[in-house]
Structure 1
Amino acid sequence: MKKITAFLICLLMVLFSIPSNAYAVGDGNFDGGGGGMGNGSSQNFWNPGNDGVRVTIIRTKDQMPVTEPIDFSNQNQPSSIVHFGKVSKIQYRNGDSLSPQVNRYVSYQPSEPLPRIIASSSYSINIEATKKYFCSEYALKLISDITGMSYENLINGDYKVLLEPIAYFTFQGAYMAMTAHEAALYDEALGGQLRAYMVSLTHKNLPLALYLQTSDMGFPAWSGGSDQKVSDEEIKSYLGIGIVRFSDADKGVDVDSNTYEYRCDTDVISSITVKTDKRRTPDNPISVTFSVNGQNYTLNNIYIPEGESQKVWFKWHTPKTPQTLSIAVSVSGAAAKSSSITANIVELKEKTPPNPTANDKNNNFSQSNIPSKVEKTSATWGEWDCYWEPKWVWESDWDWVSDGDDSGHWEDNGEWVDRGDWKYRWIAYYANFSATMNVKPDSKAPTAYSKTMKSGYGINLNVVTNLNSNAPASAITGAQNVISYYPEFNYQTYDRVLDMINSGYYSSFQLRKNKYSTYNNRTHFTPIWYPDGTYSVYAEVIDVWTPDGMLSTNVNDYVNIKGSLYDDWHIGPQF
């Protein structure tokens, strides 16, 4: 036996000198299968139940191990076992290579025995028992004690626990320990010899003991069968891995809380920003539901790359009466806290100017500058789209075919397998808003010419808006309100809210019908005392809503005042 072991170790050195029951705390992302064993021999065999688990604590944000892997087994494993050191699947993925070792092997026997990890012909594994065990407070505190990481830090959501099944078996007379990933690398180094002698263990039961139900930490979920022989490439890409994650590990899904002020009886857009520390694909999308005023608005199939964010929005119509509403926000498909949006619904009430009279005077009037209020005329936002990018690779499946007379040959019964992955593209949206206002004398001003008129007569306003956007209708509204201010009131105290004549992205607005107008015209009367010169009207165009907030712009236009309506009166004898 010593001679066989020494020969095997020498062979390994040559090959690898060539570069190449407490309450649940965690959430287990793994499943398992396998079963059935081929015939063994005195040189190549495995005793069912002789298994274990390698445990590595991984930092979520960069997927890096923060502790040395530790091995658990129910049996007392000898330190002289042939092994490859304590290396995790992530470390192999990052470039570590196999390093054969003899002696100095350490494994831990927990006081509460592990469930059976690897299936056999006489035993089907209970994956729920495995989840319950490794998600328990007992197991996690044991891992914390051995690794030296505090229990509170371990479960705070910044880390995940990587699990890998281990098989202890005899191969070519040497007693060995290896994870599924190591078995695949070892088989490649031996040119398929491990698979040839131990296929049911190393290429079925061991790798299928644990695999991911959902993609995580850069490893895709396994969608193949749970009782089939698998290739080295499949093992390295998919199998022999389980993950315990914790409730706060998916921190976004971070959902912000916003407060909006809306006008009554208005189309609006409400939005939140969603951020995730875990990539979201069609395999595990996010859904967001907004609940307001007895109605639910659900946005499904939200895809976001790891560590990225996007706005999620919905379009709705505000009530006709002033009130404060709380919009509840809930996220499904992720471990996220609920959030809310506060919507203050206010009435846009006109402060109608008083009726001007022929006797009005204002000897102390001085003109004010046209206001220059903050405006927002453009917005940009976007959303992530996700698509599958295929990558077809040939996966070999070498089988020994006997030709009789103790001879035979190897046949590759492999197949083409899509090893592609989800990719992302950013769909960028924009909205640009503008408006113009035209002020002109009212048609009932008999002596007006072009933009020149006498004081005391009325003026008409016409505001035309333009919203240019590539966004869907569900993300934008046209302008819905215009408030106009006048120089005789120093653009304060009184205002007029315009009527919407045409709605949409090219909406138009005019003055409301004036109850003091003899002809019920849409007019505003200039004061008879207004001095000669420029009479400028200022207006704010508002309630253009996008996920990036409200767009607004300020407009102004003028007429020239020259004389007063008294100049149009003539008093004389009637002939």
Structure 2
Amino acid sequence: MTANKKAINREGKGFYRSSEYMYKVSVYVGLSDIVDSTSSLHANWRMIGERPLYIKPQSFALPANTIGSSKNKAEYIKGHFLSLIRIEDAVVEKPPPIPITNYGNIDSVNAYFGDTATLNALIDAFAKQKRTTRENLLSNIPFTINGITKKRPANEILPTKIGGVFQNQVPWLIIYEPVIIAYLKDQTTVLAFTATEYALAQKMGFFNFKSGGGGQYIGAMTHSDLPNSITLEESWFGFPVTSALADGVYWSESRIIAGGGWGMRMLRVGGANAVPNNITHDYEYRVDTYVITSVRIFADEDITPDNRHESEQDESKRSCKYRRESF
């Protein structure tokens, strides 16, 4: 089954591309050597940098005037309003594809964000964001180690390795949220949103990503596939466990905001093994095979994922087969 971008736009539907994805990443440093996942994220950890960073593969250029937001999921759960920004740049890295929406594998996601090389690259990127060095990024933060609170030299805090031993005397945390770039049917608006941001924008009436009047017909991605892609397995920092739903079942906006579409990795004191906290439903698709799927896949990799509005009128179309032509 093939189509092109013009055909999609004539149908009056938004779309996204399977080859275009990002992650919205926040890095936190623990303020003492005893904080862990049971501590308060907002009281006992400090987010470095001015705001979360976007990281993307080199394989595509971010469209001009792409809209994102300046907060992360933890901040939105705390009560921050959706704060829209123009994304001026993104860090070019080698992040793995997102599970489900972009045919990624959760093991690859875990390995990437659990790698200290990724953590150190992100620290460098946040230092660049603040126009400083990685050492000065932490220079004004007091840390409590062995019961003594004071400012510390960077080599006691950063996850650097000397003689095969990591030197960090406090833990580090990465929070990452998969981001899908959506091209809306007005052929002008481009959104790079997390599952939480799509839900907030829908709930606040900024956009209708579902079907119906003014709908973008991408609700299968925004309200099912993306929140299902990565979810917390355990309650860290008091954030609730929100389990994935069956394929094709829409999450409510409130449920997405509470727990859909994010993962965490922690590096303990002394560089102990990174601790994962995410799970996923990992679907594997293979070239030149027929699969039962909730998305339409086109040869140019433009996807209009919400064909479910058709089944609202014709139940027999609920399990239609689509052929994947190219990857």
Q: Report the TM-score, using the length of structure 1 for normalisation.
A: 0.34
Matching residue of 1:243 = 264
1:140 is matched with: 119
**Distance change (3 Å), C-alpha of 1:226 and 1:109:** farther
Is the aligned partner of 1:92 residue 2:67? no
The 5 Å alignment of 1:114-263 reads 114-120=95-101, 124-148=103-127, 149=134, 153=157, 155=159, 156=168, 157-172=170-185, 173=187, 174-190=189-205, 193-196=208-211, 197-225=217-245, 227=247, 228-248=249-269
Q: Structure 1 106/191 Cα, relative in aligned 2: closer, same or farther at 3 Å?
A: closer
Is the 1:48–1:119 Cα contact (8 Å) retained in structure 2? no
Change (3 A) 1:192 1:234: farther
3-state secondary structure, aligned to 1:195: coil
Q: Give distance in 2, aligned partners of 1:193 and 1:225.
A: 21
In structure 1, give the amino acid aligned to 2:117. Answer: Y
Q: Which has the higher helix share?
A: 2
**Structure having the larger proportion of residues in strand:** 1
How many Å apart are 1:118 and its aligned residue? 4.2
- For the 8 Å contact 2:95–2:112, the answer to whether it is kept is yes
**Alignment correspondent of 1:82:** 67
Match for residue 109 of structure 1 among 87, 92, 100: 92
- Segments of 5+ residues of structure 1 without an aligned counterpart are 1-39, 252-398, 405-575
Length, aligned pairs only:
212
Aligned twin of 1:63: 41
Structure-2 separation of matches of 1:212 and 1:235? 12
Deviation at 1:141, TM superposition (A): 1.5
Secondary structure, aligned partner of 2:17:
coil
1:188, distance to aligned residue in structure 2 (A): 0.6
- The answer to whether the 8 Å contact 1:54/1:70 transfers is yes
- CA distance in 1 between partners of 2:238 and 2:310 (Å): 37
Task: Give the alignment of 1:162-561 within 5 angstroms.
Answer: 162-172=175-185, 173=187, 174-190=189-205, 193-196=208-211, 197-225=217-245, 227=247, 228-248=249-269
Q: Which runs of 5+ in 2 are unaligned?
A: 1-6, 31-38, 128-133, 136-153, 160-167, 212-216, 273-307, 314-327
- Relative distance call for 1:403 and 1:202 in structure 2 (3 A) is closer
What's the CA shift string for 1:82-131, capped at 9, x where partnerless? Answer: 223x21111112222123334x5221111xx21111424xx642100111
Q: 1:101 to 1:140 in 2, by over 3 A?
A: closer
CA contact (8 A) 2:202 2:209 kept: yes
Instruction: Report if the CA contact (8 A) 2:195-2:222 is conserved.
Output: yes
- Provide the rounded CA distance (Å) in 1 between the counterparts of 2:24 and 2:75: 13
CA contact 1:207–1:235 (8 Å) conserved in 2: yes
C-alpha displacement of 1:248 = 3.4
Once residues 400 and 200 of structure 1 are traced to their aligned partners in structure 2, the CA distance between those partners, rounded to angstroms, is: 9
Return the alpha-carbon distance in structure 1 between the equivalents of residues 89 and 20 of structure 2: 15
**CA contact under 8 A between 2:210 and 2:219: conserved in structure 1?**
yes
For 2:259, give the aligned amino acid. Answer: Y
Query: Which digits, 9 at most, give the CA deviation of each residue in 1:494-534, with x for residues without a partner?
Result: xxxxxxxxxxxxxxxxxxxxxxxxxxxxxxxxxxxxxxxxx
Which structure has the higher relative contact order (CA within 8 Å, separation 6+)? 2
Question: In the aligned structure 1, how far is the partner of 2:16 from the partner of 2:200?
Answer: 19
The match for 2:56 among 66, 73, 76 is: 73
- 1:433-460: CA deviation from partner (whole Å, max 9, x where unpaired): xxxxxxxxxxxxxxxxxxxxxxxxxxxx
String of CA shifts for 1:193-214, please: whole Å, max 9, x gaps. 2133211111122212221111
In the aligned structure 1, how far is the partner of 2:269 from the partner of 2:232? 19
1:47 match: secondary structure:
strand
Using a 3 Å threshold, how does the CA distance of structure 1 residues 76 and 217 change in structure 2: closer, same or farther? farther
Residues 413-452 of structure 1: per-residue CA shift (max 9 Å, x gap)? xxxxxxxxxxxxxxxxxxxxxxxxxxxxxxxxxxxxxxxx
Q: Secondary structure at the match of 2:173?
A: strand
1:520-551 superposed Cα distances (whole Å, 9 cap, x missing partner): xxxxxxxxxxxxxxxxxxxxxxxxxxxxxxxx
In 1, Cα distance between equivalents of 2:309 and 2:52: 36
1:50 paired residue number: 20
Confirm or deny: 8 A CA contact 2:223 2:250 kept in the other structure.
yes
- Kept after mapping to 1: 8 A contact 2:99/2:106: no
| Compared CA separation, residues 41 and 188, structure 1 to 2 (3 A) | farther
Equivalent AA in structure 2 for residue 182 of structure 1: E
The alignment's TM-score, normalised by the length of structure 2, stands at 0.57
Cα 1:142–1:226, aligned 2, differ >3 Å: closer, same or farther?
farther
Distance 1:236 1:403 in 2: 26
Change (3 A) 1:242 1:80: same
2:17 maps to a residue whose letter is N
What stretches of structure 1 move > 4 A for 4+ residues in a row?
A: 149-152, 399-404
**Partners in 1 of 2:311 and 2:119 — Cα distance?**
50
User: Cα–Cα, structure 1 residues 400 and 69, in superposed 2: closer, same or farther, change >3 Å?
Assistant: same
Partner SS for 1:204: helix
Deviation, structure 1 residue 175:
1.4
Residue identity in the other structure for 2:55: F
Identity, % of aligned positions: 21
Distance in 2 separating the partners of 1:133 and 1:218: 25
